[in-house]
Amino acid sequence: MSSTSKKHRDFVGEPMGDKGVTDLAGIGEVLGTRLKDRGFHCAYNVLGQFLVLNKNEELFMDWLKDTAGANAKQGRDCYNCLKDWCDSFL
Amino acid sequence: MEEIKNEVANLDDSKLRKELQEAKIPIGPIVKSTRSIFEKKLVEFKLKEKGLWKNPEEENSDVIKQKSCEGNSPVGSPKGEGNEVPPVGEFPASLTSTPKRTPSDSYYVVCIPVAECSKEDSDFVTPSKAVSHLFEDQKEALKLLKKNPGARFKVFRSQKEAESFAGLRENLSTPRSVEVGNNGESSSGTKPADSPNEFRSPKFQQYVALRKAIIGQDKDKFNELVWGNPRYLISTGDTPTILQEGSRYNAVHITSQKDLPDMCKLVLDTLQNPDFIQLMYPGENEEVVAQRISHMVDLYINVPDKGNFETPLHFACKFGNLKMVEFLLSYGVCEKNLKNRYGQTPAEVVCSRSKVSGSEMEDLKKKILELLEPSDEEEYYIPVFRSEDNTSPPHIGQPWSPASSDSQSGQSFDATRSPVDIDWTVKAFAGPMSPKEATSMYHKWTGRKKEFMDVQRSDDEKGLERIGRRLSQSAGVPWKEYWDFLDEFVNLASQEGLQKLEKYLSEKLEEAEDCPPDKIPQADEIVKNLEVEFDDMNIHDAITTSQSKCSNKGAQESDNLNVESKIFSNCGKNKVKEQSCYSVNDVILEKHRTEILRKTENSVTLDKSFDLDDLCDTFSHLRLSDSSSASESLINELASTIPGSGDHSLSKGISVKSNSSGSLSSTTENTSQSTEGSVFLSPEESVSSNPGTAESLILSPETKGVFIIGTSATRTDMDVYRAIQHMSISDDFPNVRKWKKQIESVADDLRSKWPTPLRKLRRSTSNPTLPCTPLVRDNRIFRFSPSQTRNLSLSPFRFNRPSSEPQPGSPQGLNMAAFPSTRLFFE
C-alpha cells in the first residue's frame, strides 16, 4: 500500500466512539446501507465481527463480501482500516 | 415451547430481525455468534405473549450467584483488606502474592519502633529499640501494622528464623517513621504535610467518569470530582491527565473535539486557579504556583494526541468549532503552527471534518481562517545590518518579528555612547514570512556556501543584499532594501520598484536637460554643426573641419578643449533626446570621441608644453584605482604633474579641481568622472576626457546618458543593474529601459571597476533629518527590535550598539547570541 486515504487516516487517528459504518475506509453509501440492513449500524459492530473472525484478512474480506457485496478493494480497505485502528488502540 | 423454539430456529436472519423488531427487542447484527441469543430472546418474548413464561433464569442466576460467591471469597477477602491498608511502598503487591502460599508456611514479624511511643521526647532522634511481634496469621499481622504507622513487617518461612529476628531489639522501623514524627509536631496533625501523596491518582475508570462529565457538560460533577482530587487534572510531574486512553486525549482535546468551549473554559480556569494548585501542593509560594500554572496550561493546550499528533487547536479547526478556535487562540501560549502526523498545520485542516457543508462551511472556514490568520502576523523578518559608513562588515540579523520584540524591550542600553561606536542600520530585509521559513532562510543566508561567500567577499557594498535578493526570490518572500538615491526601502525588481526608478531617472533627465545648454550656446551651435557634418563626412574631414572651426574662433587650447568636451557631452545628450535608439547614439559618440581625441592630440602637440605621457600615466593609474578614496591622491598627483608641465591653461582646470577638493561632493563627481572616462576610453583617449572633467566642474551637471548618481556611471549603477538584471523591462518604463541597455553595453569587468559614489555621512546626533523612512504598514510602524533600536524618534530603522571594548568595530558589547553572524566576521 503506497499511501492511505483520508478516510483511513481519519478513522485510524481517533477513538472509534460511535462512528457509523460509513466512516470505515472502503465502506461507502451502498455498502453502508447494506450493512445497516443487517444490523451493522456502527463501526464498532463491524469491529466486533472483525475481532470474532480473529483479525484474519481472508475471513473478514469473505464476510464483508457475503454480507455487503464488497469487492476485493473495498474489503481490503476496510480490513486495513480496522487492523490499523486495532494496532494503535487495542 | 419446543415448537416455538423450532419455529424461531428455522427463521432466516432477515425474518428473525423483523420479528425481533416487532417484538421491540433491541437488536444488533445477527451473525452466527449472536443468533442464538436473539433466538432465545424471541422465544422468551413469544412465550410471554402466550403466558407460558416461567423464569428459568431465576434458578440459574441463583446458581451463578452461589458460584461467584464461592469463587470470590478466597480471593476477595485478602484483596479487600489489601485496599484498606495504607499504601506504603509495595505492600499491597506483596500481600496479594502471599495468600498463594499456605498460611502455615509463613511467619510474620512486625516491628514497631519505640520512637513512636516516645514521640514527645526531644531526643527521639535516636530510637534504638523496637518492639517486635511474631504472628502466624497474616490478618493479625496486618492489623497491628495498620495501627502503628512506621512499623514494618517481614515474612519468614520457618518459625526459627522469625523468632530469632523478632529477638533483635534494634530499631528496624522505616526511616519514614521518624519523619512522620517530625512533621506531626510541626503541622500538629491538621493534615499530613507530605501532601503530594495525599491524593491518589484516579483509576482509569474514574478518568472515564470525568470524561463523561465533561462531555455531558455536567459542571457540578466536574467540580466535585476535580476539587475532590486535583489529580484528576494534574498528573505526575505536572502533566495533563489522559482522559481518553489509547489516543491519549487530555481534557482540552475532548472539549475541542466535542465543541464545548464552556467546559474548556471551566477546565482551564480551574487549572489556573491558584487555590487549585495550592490544594495539590499546599504551602507553595506564589511564584512557583504561577510557574506551575503556566506550564500546565501550555501542556494542556499544545500537547498533541497520540493518534494523529494533533493539538486541541487542530481538533477545533478540523471539526469547524469556531468558538473553540476563538477560545484557544485567546491563550497566548497556543501554538498555531504545530504540524500533525501528516505535516498539516491547524490552518490546513480547517473544516476538513466539519459536519456542515456548502456555503455554510465556506463561511465557517473563512471565519476560522481569519482567526488563525494572525498566526501569520507573527511575521518574521531577516534584516541586514550595515554600519553607517560601511567601515565594519555588514551582517545578517536573526529572524525578528514585531510581536516578539516587545519582550525584549526591557533590555536597556546605557546612554553614554563613545564616538567609536558603530551606528548599525537596517539596510535591507526579507519578509514577512513564517518563523520556519525565516529560520531556514537565515541558515541558508549565513551558511558558508561557497557561491555566497564569493559574492559576499567580492562585494562589500551589496554582497549580502545580492544573496538575500536571490534567496528571497527563490523562497517567494518579499524583499526590500534601502537605496540611498531613492531614500527609501524598495524592491527594485518589482513593478513598484521599477516605477520608482523610472520616476527617479526621468527626474534626473529633466534636471540635466534644464540646466546646462544655455550656458554654452556656442558649444551648442558647434555641436549641431558637427552633427550635420558627421552625418555625411568621413572622420578625417571632420577633424580638419572642426579644427579649422576651432582655430577660426581663435580660441586658445584651453578653450578649445573646453568647447570640445562640451561638444562631446552635449552631442551625447542631444542624441539621447533625439534618438531613441541608443546604439546608434553610441556609434556617434564613439565617432566624436575619436575625433576629439585626434583634435586634442593636435592641439596638445601644437602647444608642446603639455606632457602627454605624464598625463597618460596618471590616468592609467587612475583606471586601476576604483575607490573613491583614491580621489584625493589622484588630485594631488594631477596637481603636481600638470602644473609642472608649464603654463598650459589646462592647469587652470586642474587647479580648479584641486581647489574644489574641499567640497567633498564635487570631488567625488570629479573623480568618478575621470575614472569613468578612463574606463570608457583607452589611456590615450583619456586625455580627451580630462578636459571634460575640468568642464564638468564648471558646468555641472553634465550628462552623457543618464546615470543614477551624478553624471557618470558609478557603483550604484551596477548595484541597481544587478538588482534588475533578470527583469524584462516593459515599455512602461522607457527611461529604465534605456538606462539598462546603456549599462548592459558595458563589459562586466569594466562595470565592476566603476567607482563607489561618495557616501553621504549622516550623523544622527548632528543631523536630525535622517533618510530612513519608517516602514509603515497597517498603520503600524515596524521597528526592528527595540533592543537594537535607539534614537527611535529619529528613525525606526536606526539603532546604535555601544561596544564595551575600546576598539572601533568590535561587537563585544553586542548580544552575541542575538547576532551569531557577527561571530563569523570577528572570530
- DSSP conformation letters of B447-510: S--HHHHHHHHH-TTTHHHHHHHHHHHHHT--EEEEETTTTEEE-TTSHHHHHHHHHHHHHHHH
Pairs from B185-194 (Cβ < 8 Å, separation ≥ 24): B185/B119, B191/B282, B193/B282, B193/B283
Which range, B484-493, B673-682, B765-774, B808-817, is most confident?
B484-493
Contacting residues for B261 by C-beta, under 8 A, at least 6 apart: B255, B321, B323, B324, B326, B327
Average pLDDT rounded to a whole number, residues A84-90: 88
Peptide linkage before B312 cis (omega within 30 of 0): no
Is A48 in the B-facing interface, judged by CB distances under 8 Å? yes
pLDDT at position B253 is 93
Is A40 in the B-facing interface, judged by CB distances under 8 Å? yes
Cβ–Cβ under 8 Å, residues B801 and B421: yes
Cβ–Cβ under 8 Å, residues A42 and A19: yes
Q: How many Cα atoms sit within 13 Å of B256 on the Cβ side? A: 27
Q: Rounded to 10 degrees, what is the CA torsion of B139, B145, B146, B149?
A: -170
Q: Do B307 and A52 touch (CB under 8 A)?
A: no
Is B343 in the A-facing interface, judged by CB distances under 8 Å? no
How close A42 comes to chain B (CA, Å)? 10
Nearest chain A residue to B246 by CA distance is: A89
Cα–Cα distance, B129 to B692 (Å, whole number): 114
Q: Which of B17, B27, B342 sits opposite A9 (nearest CB)?
A: B342
Cα–Cα distance, B240 to B699 (Å, whole number): 80
Pairs of residues, one from chain A and one from chain B, whose beta carbons lie less than 8 Å apart: 43
Q: Do B29 and A13 touch (CB under 8 A)?
A: no
Closest CA to B716 of B473, B487, B391: B487
Nearest chain B residue to A36 by CA distance is: B29
- Residues of chain A neighbouring B307 (CB-CB closer than 8 A): 12-15, 88
Q: How would residue B117 be classed by pLDDT, with cut points 50, 70 and 90?
A: very low
Which range, A3-12, B516-525, B628-637, B784-793, is most confident?
A3-12
Q: Do A9 and B30 touch (CB under 8 A)?
A: no
Q: Is B134 exposed, middle or buried (0-12, 13-18, 19+ CB in 10 A)?
A: middle
- Residues of chain A neighbouring B349 (CB-CB closer than 8 A): none
Is A9 in the B-facing interface, judged by CB distances under 8 Å? yes
Is B306 in the A-facing interface, judged by CB distances under 8 Å? yes
Is A38 in the B-facing interface, judged by CB distances under 8 Å? yes
- Residues of chain A neighbouring B31 (CB-CB closer than 8 A): 49, 52
Give the sign of the dihedral formed by CA B341, CA B347, CA B352, CA B353. positive
How close A88 comes to chain B (CA, Å)? 7
Which range, A59-73, B441-455, B496-510, is most confident?
A59-73
Cβ–Cβ under 8 Å, residues B14 and B29: no
Is A88 in the B-facing interface, judged by CB distances under 8 Å? yes
Backbone torsions φ then ψ of B428, nearest 5 degrees: -160, 155
Q: Which of B29, B310, B341 sits opposite A40 (nearest CB)?
A: B29
Q: How far is CA A67 from CA A62, A78, B471, B695, in A?
A: 9, 13, 59, 101
Which range, B210-224, B353-367, B795-809, is most confident?
B210-224
CA angle B769, B775, B776 (to 5 degrees): 110
Cα–Cα distance, A3 to A77 (Å, whole number): 11
Cβ–Cβ under 8 Å, residues B320 and B368: yes
Check residue B218 and give left, alpha or beta (phi > 0: left; psi -120 to 50: alpha).
beta
Cα–Cα distance, B433 to B379 (Å, whole number): 5
Closest CA to B425 of B724, B778, B823, B760: B760
Place of cell 513512636: B116
Contacting residues for B658 by C-beta, under 8 A, at least 6 apart: B635, B636, B638, B639
Above 70 in pLDDT, residue B188? Answer: no
Q: Do A10 and B353 touch (CB under 8 A)?
A: yes
Cα–Cα distance, B202 to B224 (Å, whole number): 14
Is B307 in the A-facing interface, judged by CB distances under 8 Å? yes
Length of chain A: 90
Cβ–Cβ under 8 Å, residues B214 and B244: no
Of all residues in chain B, the percent with pLDDT exceeding 90 is 7
**Taking the model in full, what pTM does it have?**
0.41
Above 80 in pLDDT, residue B272? Answer: yes
Q: Which of A13, A38, A48 sits opposite B307 (nearest CB)?
A: A13
Which of A38, A50, A67, A86 to mutate to test binding with chain B, by most B CBs within 10 Å of its CB? A38
Nearest chain B residue to A40 by CA distance is: B29
pLDDT at position B777 is 39
